Amino acid sequence: MQYLHTMLRVADLDAARHFYCELLGLVEVRRVDNEAGRFTLVFLAAPDDVELAAQRMAPLVELTHNWDPEAYTGGRNFGHLAYRVADIYALCQKLQDAGVTINRPPRDGHMAFVRSPDGISIELLQAGDPLPPAEPWASMENSGSW
């Protein structure tokens, strides 16, 4: 058995791609437009997994955009996506500067939670040892649900 991907339905493909690629740093590795089925699939890999993704050997996130409008709710039902990051403070600052709410700030220098434009909960984990506590994160309260 091999883990292949996690599929997320997204209402606005451009907004989702901006969040996952421009802000989180994932890389689009494959795209499928299916006119008969009226949907687009966009497959994303973590930067360190791009080479393995080309060989179809890396776990991916599949963004599924159905062309006909649909309301998607309950994005937290499956749990969350988790990514190991090089500098949790730098990424959280980048996300916050772009208007993303940091739902669970990295007070411990180790873990944070944010949500995608479609309400998908995303856990960010510091690679290696936790970073020393730093402001503004150390005193920042939780916001919303994560």
- Per DSSP bridges, beta strands 111-115 and 121-126 are antiparallel
Instruction: Please tell me the distance from the alpha carbon of residue 67 to that of residue 80, in angstroms, as a whole number.
Output: 25
Is there a cis peptide before residue 136, judged by omega within 30 degrees of 0? yes
Contact 9, 66 (CB under 8 A): yes
| Catalytic residue (one of 22, 70, 123, 141) | 123
28 carries an active-site annotation: no
Query: Which residues are part of the catalytic machinery?
Result: 123
